[in-house]
Amino acid sequence: MKLGAGRSEFFINFIAILITLSIAFVAVIVLIFLLSSQPIDTIYYFFIGPFTNRYYLGNMLNTSIPLIFTGLGIAIAFKSSVFNLGGEGQVYAAALVTTVICLALPTANGYFGGTLALAGAALTGSFLAGLSGYFRMKWGTDELISSYLLSASIIMVVNYFITGPLNDPTNNLLATKLIGSQYFLLKIMPPSKLDIGIFIAIATAVVAFFFMYHTHAGYEMRMCGLNREFSRYGGIDTARYLILPMLISGLLHGLAGGFIVLGTYHKAIKEFSFGMGWNGIAVALIARNNPLAVIPAAFFFAYLDAGAKAAMLHSDVTFEIAAIVQAIIYYLVTAKVIYRFIRYRKRVINA
Amino acid sequence: MREITKYYVESGVLANDRVSLEVKDNEIHALIGENGAGKSTLMKILYGLERADSGKILFRGKQVSITSPRDANALGIGMVQQHFRLIPQYTVTENVILGIEPTKRRILLDKGRARREVSAIAKKFSLNIDCSAPVGDLSVGQMQIVEIMKLLYRKASFLILDEPTSVLTRQEIDNLFGILKSFKKQGKTIVLITHKLDEVSEISERVTVLRHGKRVAVRDTSDTNPSELSRLMIGREVALHVERPELARGKPVYRLESITLREKGRNVPLLDRVTIEVHQHEIVGVAGVSGNGLSELEDVASGLRKVTEGHIFHNEEEITNLTSIELREMGLAYVPADRLFRGSSLQSSVTENMIICNHHYFIKRGILNGKKISQFVRELTEKYSIMGEPDVPIGTLSGGNIQKVILARELSSDTDFIIFAEPTWGLDVSSSEFVYRKIIELRSEGAGILLISSNLDEVMALSDTIVVMYKGRVVMYSENKPSLTKELIGEYMLGLRDDFREVQSVKDSRGVQS
């Protein structure tokens, strides 16, 4: 059995994404030729750089961990036609909660405390996103707006805690104290920052895929996402599926926040998670909201990031080049232009 | 318009078959016909919203090509469509000028001029309307007038109104007709699409009748009468014959008892004390012209809309206002009229569409049993000879095959009562026959069937009992017998007859016999 779109659909998606990414690469090359005085070197570092040593490669994969989580969070919400634009705030708040739990238990067992901290992160994200889902169910407020506004204000609150009561005065960073070292996730590719979080992220994507396509709740959620009237007619509790996808989406965003603290930063730094929420949307769009496709999509995003960093270190371009390329991809993917074009072509050929 | 032909490839419907229409200058011309007779399509072609496959349009003696509403506007042709296209937050003036706003120096909106011009129109045609009020605060009748003002502002001299009275109260209709008559005095030409015969004689001078996409008659209104028009609209012959074995009906399975449905802001109820009873081995066919409560009856009977008053029973158990979830758990089977939106999820696969109401059977500890599902789907696709792979989106299937998927799904569980709404609308002949065979089969097996359809042929060919709805009321309720002619039913459908009591006694006497 196969639920979801058929093989041809998958093929079209794949080709469309390939074209999108090729355009992005061409854009990078053109930009480099325009901006760099030694373009060949720059291109080499941009494209090959991330693979030249363990350090770069590991860091690149490490960057993808939170992106897989946030990408999954967005993909599941979008599949259910609910919109969680509060990812930024959810990641950030969850990161703070993780730090606070770890700091509150300085001597606890690492596994126990770590699990507790991640649970706290997941709950924080779920709660924030779930609120918007609840408001939507209860009063019909647009969850897209409410989640965004809630996130924007929660960021201020988190900033206050990091720079105020929880600030580490011994450090001149705007950050909290370091969490106990028993909480640090195991590094798997030293000297890079890559930790075992990557396996958990990938496993989560697999679980999310299974959930969406092979479980009762996943099926009902997708049906509600595609056609709410049809779902109501078929006897599905459609109100439940306004809030459940938000809870799951928030949970995944929360985990993103938890893993960057336990795995990478070991403390909460002011605005350190910025961009992870928004980039999750881009990752989900590239993956066409397919949980498994989120993994390569997140790798790709991390690759662009790593490429730009490598090119910046070894050559004369600035890091913004990555931002420009990301913007191009954003446009291409959201416009769905290429996707439609191929679909149209296919129909014409078949007809 | 000469010999206009329009074929909708997607649905396979021949909407206009070499239809000609002549409208004289400065007349009020009524265009009548049943639902789906092709009235709106013909007018949409004239207004440039649709393109004809063949035929030509002559306007004031010259052949014209109208490919968009802009072309139509340039010729002075304007159309008010059935569904209003107004922005509720904007004032009357703002709505009227939208799209061709008067400007100062080509950039700034000239509000003063807009106000002056729009109130001048209101004054000229003595339209009683507050031009500075937001449209959202107006009554439906006044919104209709705003739509007409939009045409006047665009200097239209040839007005097309698509069923303008369907949402209006009697007073509002009188007011509208007064306005239309004054337009005529000022030299304007009006085409009125309608299926209400009293309006034809009230306002029009000539009338063109369409049936099944063909023009069947043109008359001067003074030379004809409502029963002739009714006959022309509906036709004399029942065009459909379905083999229906004699069966004695069994015990009652489903009953709507004095159902009333009201909507906020509407004085007239959408359904008015409707009582219908369905027995085992019985097909109850509900006929009516659209806008007379058929779709509301469908929503209420299927539990998707809550009733205001009244009770619904299933096997003597009250099921009034249960949620669709509860009704599904009880085994409700329902083939909806809106099969592309309510009846299926077009982007989802055939499989996913087939298990929407019965996926509960395939779940073990929250996980879907893929093997069982594909076996189930394979069996149904074979049984119903559905052309389409289980994993393609259902939207890629033909209309007939989509309907087969819906039937397969709805009839897959044992059920003693099924609602069919417009089951063959837009289907080709062979798919329709398939649907009819299925309905008859279910009846033989002992199910009670509520058939809601604006296709009178279908209702007459299938039903054991025929119910006619007009303006939300049951105006006829009778056993289907030879003396019940199409003409007679047509007169009830079009509101020419309203002697419910007499017919009710027919039903009662039968009730005694059985």
pLDDT given at position B37: 80
Q: What is the Cα–Cα distance from B188 to A290, expressed in whole angstroms?
A: 58
Q: Is residue A214 part of a domain?
A: yes
Which of residues B507 and B467 earns the better pLDDT score? B467
Q: What is the Cα–Cα distance from B450 to B469, expressed in whole angstroms?
A: 14
> What are the two backbone dihedrals, phi and then psi, of residue A234, each rounded to the nearest 5 degrees?
-80, 0
Q: What is the Cα–Cα distance from B406 to B343, expressed in whole angstroms?
A: 7
Residue B275, pLDDT above cutoff 60: yes
The answer to whether B318 and B361 are in contact (CB under 8 A) is: no
Query: Quick one: average pLDDT of A328-351?
Result: 60
Tokens of B457: 């042929």
Give B505's pLDDT tier (boundaries 50, 70, 90): very low
The answer to whether A48 and A181 are in contact (CB under 8 A) is: no
> A284-296 burial, b if ≥16 CB within 10 A, otherwise e?
bbbbbbbbbbbbb
Paired residues of B63 in beta bridges: B58
Query: Quick one: average pLDDT of B110-114?
Result: 84
pLDDT given at position B511: 40
Tokens of A293: 């496709």
Q: Is residue A70 part of a domain?
A: yes
Q: What is the Cα–Cα distance from A343 to A348, expressed in whole angstroms?
A: 9
State the burial class of residue B220 (Cβ atoms within 10 Å of its Cβ: 0-12, 13-18, 19+).
exposed
Q: Looking at the complex, does the CB of residue B371 fall below 8 Å from at least one CB of chain A? A: yes
Q: How many Å lie between the alpha carbon of B306 and the closest alpha carbon of chain A?
A: 14
- Is the dihedral angle over the CA atoms A16, A17, A20, A26 positive or is it negative? negative
Interchain pair A226, B345: CB under 8 A: yes
What's the pLDDT tens digit per position in B439-453?
Answer: 999 999 999 999 999
Name the residue in chain B with its Cα closest to that of A232.
B324
Residue B238, pLDDT above cutoff 80: no
Interface mutation vs chain B, best among A13, A209, A221, A230, most B CBs within 10 Å? A230
Domain count, chain A: 1
The answer to whether B310 and B396 are in contact (CB under 8 A) is: no
Centre a 10 Å sphere on the Cβ of residue B70 and count the other Cβ atoms it contains: 10
Query: Quick one: average pLDDT of B422-440?
Result: 86
Tokens of B167: 């949402």
Q: What is the Cα–Cα distance from B84 to B142, expressed in whole angstroms?
A: 11
> Could you list the residue range(s) of the whole structural domain that residue A296 is in?
7-350
Interchain pair A4, B371: CB under 8 A: no
* Domains of chain B by residue range: 2-234, 243-332+415-514, 341-414
Q: How many CA atoms lie within 13 A of B97 on its CB side?
A: 21
ipTM of the prediction? 0.80
Q: Looking at the complex, does the CB of residue B295 fall below 8 Å from at least one CB of chain A? A: no
Give B507's pLDDT tier (boundaries 50, 70, 90): very low
Q: Is residue A2 part of a domain?
A: no
Q: Which of B325, B336, B367 sits opposite A215 (nearest CB)?
A: B367
B contacts of A6 (beta carbons < 8 Å): 349, 389, 391-393
What's the pLDDT tens digit per position in B465-488?
Answer: 999 999 899 999 999 988 888 888
Query: Quick one: average pLDDT of A303-329?
Result: 82
Interchain pair B334, A227: CB under 8 A: no
Give B252's pLDDT tier (boundaries 50, 70, 90): very high
Residue A9, pLDDT above cutoff 70: no
Read off the CATH number of the domain in which A70 is found.
Answer: 1.10.3470
Q: Is residue A1 part of a domain?
A: no
Q: What is the Cα–Cα distance from B121 to B302, expressed in whole angstroms?
A: 47
Task: Taking each helix axis as running N to C, give the angle between helix B399-410 and helix B370-383, from 0 to 180 degrees, rounded to the nearest 10.
Answer: 120
Query: Quick one: average pLDDT of B190-214?
Result: 87
> What are the two backbone dihedrals, phi and then psi, of residue B186, each rounded to the nearest 5 degrees?
-85, 10
Those of residues 300-359 in B touching chain A at CB distance below 8 A are 302, 304, 324-325, 327-329, 334, 336, 341-349, 351-352, 355-357, 359
Those of residues 234-273 in A touching chain B at CB distance below 8 A are 234-237
Domain over B243-332+415-514 is classified CATH 3.40.50.300: yes
Interchain pair B367, A237: CB under 8 A: no
Give A1's pLDDT tier (boundaries 50, 70, 90): very low
CATH second-level architecture of B2-234?
A: 3-Layer(aba) Sandwich (3.40)
Q: Looking at the complex, does the CB of residue B379 fall below 8 Å from at least one CB of chain A? A: no
Give B506's pLDDT tier (boundaries 50, 70, 90): very low
Give B183's pLDDT tier (boundaries 50, 70, 90): confident
What's the pLDDT tens digit per position in A210-224?
Answer: 999 999 999 999 999
